[in-house]
């Protein structure tokens, strides 16, 4: 089978198509013929993790070393990237009950990667579900990462109908899912993003959009129940006056400083800082499938690239010009 591989860290030029052995599913696994994978921040990090120094790492320092060891210190340990995918079940192991040959599926592999290949094995109880019929493989490949990250984080802060929620970083992989999920939970949503993506965030269902290059949302007098700062671009100090008395400042990216703020504010009755890591799970994958079927979550695919042009896909994501998801079609 063909796979997009890399054996050294670096620019998108390190990505090459290579022939590899087609995997054979174990008794509890399904073999998937991959049709589409998306390119998200995890792929960019994995491709050049040696450039992610502790200061560039968007998580606390104690998590940097295990991540560096996991991805490989001097060269990549994992040679095929790709964490979210969609495809068709080609065959099933003899103990598999949830899937059958021919089922369209989509799923998430997290840090184990490996979806940038024509074939992929997944445990039947892994994070994989039947693809909703109302979306294409390309759209399906762009959904799991954002949804499976945003869902547990919004649940962690007990989001409620009628709450005023601001998503800072609303146009990204996690933010675009968070906007739609916050709407699903009945919140009034303001999305913050850059100028070229204001229309994109509005089309996701945001009630209001703010351009961070033109307006500082902490200075406009609006007060929120929840400020979800995906990339840690603001701060609790700046957001405090924009939070209701029991408001929450939620971070998907955070450093030790924010962890200490979380500990400090956890003891008070007032405004809280919450730093949370998403634990992706099959129940959320099934919920995501249902929400897609009901039209509550959609994926907007900006551009598709054939696997031979994977480097171009990575360059386009790195350019910061995308509005929606970038997908690589496989085979």
Q: Which of 9, 30, 38, 40 binds ligand NAP (CB under 6 A)?
A: 40
CA-closest candidate to residue 116, choices 315, 317, 313: 313
Give the whole-angstrom CA distance, residue 170 versus residue 207.
12
230 scored as a contact of ligand NAP (CB under 6 A)? yes
Asked if 169 touches ligand NAP (CB under 6 A), the answer is yes
Collapse the DSSP code of 78 into the 3-class scheme (helix H, G, I; strand E, B; otherwise coil) and give the result. coil
CB of 169 to ligand NAP, least distance (A): 3
59 binds ligand NAP (CB under 6 A): yes
* Residue with Cβ nearer ligand NAP (72 or 152): 152
Q: Please tell me the distance from the alpha carbon of residue 87 to that of residue 35, in angstroms, as a whole number.
A: 5
Alpha helices in 41-86 (DSSP H): 41-47, 61-71
Under rule CB under 6 A, residue 41 binds ligand NAP: yes
Site for ligand NAP in 208-227 (CB under 6 A): 212
| DSSP single-letter state for residue 132 | P
Q: Which stretch binds ligand NAP (CB under 6 A): 86-94, 101-109, 190-198, 288-296?
A: 190-198
Question: In this structure, are residues 129 and 288 in contact, taking their beta carbons and an 8 Å threshold?
Answer: yes
Cβ distance to ligand NAP smaller for residue 62 or 161: 62
- Residues from 291 through 320 that contact ligand NAP (CB under 6 A): 320
Q: Which is nearer to ligand NAP, 238 or 244 (CB)?
A: 238
The terminus-to-terminus CA distance of the chain in angstroms comes to: 9
**CB of 73 or CB of 279, closer to ligand NAP:** 279
Identity of the residue, 134 or 158, whose beta carbon is nearer to ligand NAP in the bound complex = 158
Q: Minimal CB distance to ligand NAP: which residue? A: 172
How wide is the angle at C-alpha 75 spanned by C-alphas 309 and 54, nearest 5°?
Answer: 100
CB of 101 to ligand NAP, least distance (A): 33
CB of 24 to ligand NAP, least distance (A): 31
Ranges assigned E (strand) in 252-319:
272-275, 301-306
* β-pairing verdict for 272-275 and 164-168: unpaired
- DSSP per position, 293-305: HTTSS---EEEEE
List interacting residues with ligand NAP (CB under 6 A).
40-41, 58-59, 149, 168-175, 192-194, 197, 212, 230-231, 233, 252-253, 276-278, 320
């Amino acid at each position: 089978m063909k796979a997009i591989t890399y054996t050294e860290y670096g620019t998108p030029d390190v990505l090459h198509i290579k022939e590899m052995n087609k995997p054979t599913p174990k008794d509890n696994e399904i073999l998937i013929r991959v049709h589409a994978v998306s390119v998200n921040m995890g792929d960019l990090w994995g491709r050049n993790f040696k450039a992610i120094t502790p200061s560039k790492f968007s998580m606390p320092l104690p998590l940097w070393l295990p991540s560096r060891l996991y991805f490989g210190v001097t060269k990549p340990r994992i040679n095929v990237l790709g964490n979210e995918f969609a495809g068709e079940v080609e065959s099933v192991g003899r103990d598999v009950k949830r899937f059958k040959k021919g089922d369209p599926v989509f799923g998430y592999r997290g840090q184990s990667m490996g979806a940038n290949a024509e074939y992929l094995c997944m445990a039947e109880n892994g994070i994989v579900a039947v693809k909703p019929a109302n979306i294409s493989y390309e759209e399906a490949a762009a959904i799991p990462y954002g949804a499976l990250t945003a869902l547990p984080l919004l649940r962690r802060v007990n989001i409620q109908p009628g709450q005023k929620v601001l998503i800072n970083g609303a146009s990204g992989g996690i933010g675009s899912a968070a906007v739609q999920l916050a709407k699903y939970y009945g919140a009034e949503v303001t999305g913050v993003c850059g100028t070229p993506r204001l229309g994109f965030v509005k089309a996701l269902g945001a009630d209001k959009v703010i351009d961070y290059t033109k307006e500082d949302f902490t200075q406009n007098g609006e007060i929120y129940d929840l400020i979800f700062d995906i990339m840690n671009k603001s701060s609790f100090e700046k957001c405090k006056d924009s939070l209701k008395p029991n408001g929450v400042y939620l971070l998907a990216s955070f450093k030790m400083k924010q962890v200490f703020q979380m500990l400090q504010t956890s003891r008070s009755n007032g405004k809280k800082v919450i730093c949370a890591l998403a634990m992706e799970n099959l129940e959320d994958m099934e919920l995501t499938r249902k929400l897609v079927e009901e039209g509550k979550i959609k994926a907007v695919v900006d551009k598709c690239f054939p696997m031979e042009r994977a480097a171009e896909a990575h360059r386009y994501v790195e350019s910061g010009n995308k509005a929606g998801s970038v997908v690589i079609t496989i085979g």
